[in-house]
Amino acid sequence: METDKDDPAAENALGGFLRARRARLRPEDVGIPASGRRRVPGLRREEVAMLAGVSTDYYMRLEQGRERHPSRQILEAVARALRLDDEAGAHLFRVAAPSTRRTRPAPRVERVAPHVRRLLDTWSGTPAFILGPALDILAHNRLASALHAGFTQSDNLLRMTFLDPAARHFHLDWDRAAESTVAALRRSAGIDPDDPRLSRIVGELSVKSADFRVLWARHDVRGKTRGAKLFHHAQVGDLELHHETFTVNSAPTQQLVVYQAEPGTSSADGLALLGSLSAGPVPAPEATPDAVSG
């Protein structure tokens, strides 16, 4: 009979991801008749194994980290069994891939190229900023600084969302914003699990925020791409802003995030007003040296 005891082997990246996603599926989600009382949430290991067409013992070895070289076909079958979308499936392949541990170079400082900073400054009517892998705000233009003016520090999206009380007023849908930031961090963790900066952020937030701990344990994976966000700004009121995210090809670990309002809307008027109220030099991101090292 299955038990979900806490043991070191179950804490591997692949096992943690599989366990979390298995727990979120109900038998009826995958066409399995529900019968009797279940001791653990979601699907049992043997049910996932059946859906994936592998033995229960093999699937158990995957979760426990004892099977280190699963084939692509096996991973695809497990992804289908767990109903993973494309992004979660890609994350599964990343965390399952065998990695050759090597000595990491000394922590580097994430720097934004001067020409990228100048590009940000030319966008006077749209908030724009550069994010590092751990969601550090490495650079921003004047309007992005004005948008985040209510925060104590605008240094890292995770710290701002989970540790600054201003976030609950700024984000009109705080739950969605919190889920989005954690899912983006989880994606970064799958790409470079040995990143010391990312480990420090996860450690800090795990200690200081119960909300973060809950969301981190869910193993949601979602990169920042595009979407709409609802904000409340103390000076200009409610804003509905659409964002697009671009990879900076000259620095692939960095992402450019640009917000814009639909023309002719009250949000466009509010953004224009915010721009006029905040005219002046662009302040630097309020980050400590630790916040930009990786």
User: What domains, with CATH codes, occur in the chain?
Assistant: 8-96 (1.10.260.40), 114-292 (3.30.450.180)
| pLDDT tens-place values along the chain, 294 residues long | 344 443 333 358 888 889 988 888 888 887 877 666 777 778 888 888 888 888 999 888 888 888 878 888 889 899 988 999 888 888 888 888 755 445 555 556 678 999 999 999 999 899 999 999 999 999 999 999 999 999 998 899 999 999 999 999 999 999 999 999 999 999 988 888 888 899 899 999 999 999 999 999 989 888 777 889 999 999 999 999 999 999 998 888 899 999 999 999 999 999 999 998 877 655 666 544 444 544
| Rounded CA separation 98/69 (Å) | 7
Residue 293, judged by CB atoms within 10 A of its CB (0-12, 13-18, 19+), counts as middle
Query: Rounded to the nearest 5°, which phi and psi values hold at 227?
Result: 155, 180
3-state helix, strand, coil in the chain (%, to 5): 45, 15, 40
**Residues pairing with 128 in the sheet:** 258
- Tell me the pTM: 0.77
